Amino acid sequence: MLKDITLGQYLPGDSFLYRLDPRVKIGATILSLVAYFSARSLYAFGLLTLLTALLVFLSGISFRVILRAIRPVVAVLLIMGILVLFTTKGAGEPYFSLSVFSLFDLEIYPEGIARAVLFSLRIVLLVVSTCLFLTYTTTPTSLTDALASVLSPLTILRVPVYDFAMMMTIALRFIPTLAEETDKIMSAQKARGADFSSGSLIRRARALIPILIPLFASSFRRAGELATAMECRCYRGGAGRTKLRVFRLRVWDLLFLFLCGAILASVFLLNTWLPTGISL
């Protein structure tokens, strides 16, 4: 169900990841993104998988919650995995070959299977690590202040850094809210006799119109209410604002960031020293 989506939610807790400086979490997220997309070796993927599992352990968040975070991207993974599977050509004989109306051939090579599996694994690791660093273990207020602090050098160029950070945080915060709203609208439409699971693809697409219209109306109404509430509280961006929590880097924050950098370097070394011969 859409209401079970945990992406964008903060889960209260008290573990090692919760106590990290939010700015360090943002830096670790960037380094992990580079590491995931730079991995070209099976050994590098194995290292990143083990480290992500260790990250889940350090967060103290249950594995069931992690699975709920992956659920929204399963359909995308299946579609992209199939495309990668059939578009990858190998040097040897294919495992499977089928001619479609004599126009093109669908072939499955060992390299295609490896690329599809590792592509899906890369996206799963990316989603899990991003959720652990940025949403599950970091409050929206801390995330906003951390983004504004990291991007503060751009204020020299007159970039509205704090407004940008606030927009990013609000967008993440309203993902579960909109998912819950969509679930309520779908339940209401089903109670009125709407059918979203049968018929052709075109019919199913048309059946979504009674959902999209009230969802957009609800989203604009929530946006207006939020803007009014912020104006009533005299919100004027970051100018002259004080912070309840002042960030201070500690020893373990720097050590964790250094460890993330060492992992990124290890990925590049594994790509060079232990290549797999598969273009990933």
Residues of the chain with pLDDT under 50: 1
CA torsion, points 168, 173, 176, 178, in degrees to nearest 10? -70
**Residue 152 domain-assigned?**
no
Q: Which two three-digit tokens encode residue 10?
A: 């903060």
Q: What is the per-residue pLDDT for 239?
A: 63
The range of the structural domain enclosing residue 111 comes to: 11-139+248-280
How far is the C-alpha of 56 from the C-alpha of 70, rounded, in Å?
13
Please state, in angstroms and as integers, the Cα–Cα distance from residue 88 to each residue in 7, 232, 274, following that order: 32, 56, 22
- CA nearest neighbour of 247 among 107, 119, 143, 123: 143
Q: Work out how many domains the chain is built from and give that number.
A: 1
**Residue 192 domain-assigned?**
no
How far is the C-alpha of 130 from the C-alpha of 168, rounded, in Å?
14
- CA nearest neighbour of 47 among 260, 279, 277: 260
Its pTM surpasses 0.85: no
Q: What is the per-residue pLDDT for 280?
A: 54
**Residue 74 domain-assigned?**
yes
**Residue 86 domain-assigned?**
yes
**Residue 158 domain-assigned?**
no
| Alpha helix stretches (DSSP H) within 72-208 | 74-87, 110-130, 140-150, 161-191, 201-207
- CA nearest neighbour of 24 among 267, 260, 245: 260
Q: What is the per-residue pLDDT for 32?
A: 92
**Residue 131 domain-assigned?**
yes
Q: What is the per-residue pLDDT for 72?
A: 76
Q: What is the per-residue pLDDT for 1?
A: 47
Q: What are phi and psi of 85, to 5 degrees?
A: -60, -45
Q: What is the per-residue pLDDT for 277?
A: 52
Please state, in angstroms and as integers, the Cα–Cα distance from residue 4 to each residue in 94, 134, 135, following that order: 41, 19, 15
**Residue 35 domain-assigned?**
yes
